[in-house]
Chain A
Amino acid sequence: MANLKRALAGINRINLEGLRWRVFDCKGQVLGRLASQISVVLQGKDKPTYAPYRDDGDMCIVINAKDICVTGKKLTDKVYRWHTGYVGHLKERTLKDQMAKDPTEVIRKAVFRMLPKNKLQDDRDRKLRIFGGSEHPFTDRPLEGFVMPPRKVREMRPRVRRAMIRAQKKAEQSDAIKQAIKDKKN
């Protein structure tokens, strides 16, 4: 399995003793909010023995990366851009395409860009293992699930709420029509 090789890549470069293995479940989580929690754990900032010159973060395993959510119109409007170095070669890819291509890259980029940009950034990135589904090869390690801190979700804006209610009503009507057709057939 190609994923297995990538998942285990560079593990012996990390000094694994004394590190915890934390599992983050992406199902239903918002992309940026989850990524900021992951970056805090990766830096080791939740430990009282934190030191900025030394990489003491826990190993982070992220599962169900394809179920990550974003708010607003980011699925179509959020664009990843990079320049290849050749003149005129600015490449773009929307979040939707990236999720179709490789959902783990979305979270990896988000967390990588939230880490402090110093010499430890690559080492910390190496401690992050992301999986699109819920299968991962680290089941024999002592894993701890990460509990996201409680969050106050903002109330829906009136226009969005009306749109949602309309969509719900439409779904109900179409279900009722489908049910009526079924009953007629029977």
Chain B
Amino acid sequence: MTRVKRGYIARKRRKQILAFVSGSRGAHSKLFRTANQRKARALVSVHRDRGKRKRDLRRLWITRINAAARANGVSYNRFIQYLYKRQLLPNRKTLAQIAVLDSNCFSTILKTLSYDEINR
């Protein structure tokens, strides 16, 4: 067989992988063999955390709604109960954003709901 030099194919492949993990700490962004492992772990994390992100954000929204509701005298579970009884289904994301950006609106919602519940 004729002699085949591999040329720069390997270098191209390694450069691509190193570009992927640029920003990692220390040798993980400089040396190919450690960087390769880093890339594998990164891809696994991205895949797994796409599902986790939805869970984490919902947790955060619930904590925020809890804080805002308790500042107005109602706990999170009661607040959700009142909403569900009236068949109002805003999602936690919207409620949390209202609580942060427009706290007056949030208190009004809460007070109207709890007033109706108590006086039913």
Contacts and interface: CB of A to CB of B under 8 A. Distances in A.
Interface in B17-75: 60, 63-68, 70-71
Give the dominant DSSP class at B's interface.
helix
A28 interface: no
Interface in A42-74: 45-52
B116 to A, nearest CB: 23
A52 B63 CA distance: 10
Interface size class of A (residues with CB under 8 A): under 10
A46 B67 contact: yes
Interface in B85-113: 96, 99-100, 103, 106
Contacts of A52: 60
Contacts of A46: 67, 70-71
B42 to A, nearest CB: 20
Contacts of A51: 60
A50 B68 CA distance: 10
A52 B71 CA distance: 19
Interface of A: 45-52
20 contacts: A45-B63, A45-B66, A45-B67, A46-B67, A46-B70, A47-B67, A48-B64, A48-B65, A48-B67, A48-B68, A48-B71, A48-B96, A48-B99, A48-B100, A48-B103, A49-B100, A50-B63, A50-B64, A50-B67, A51-B60
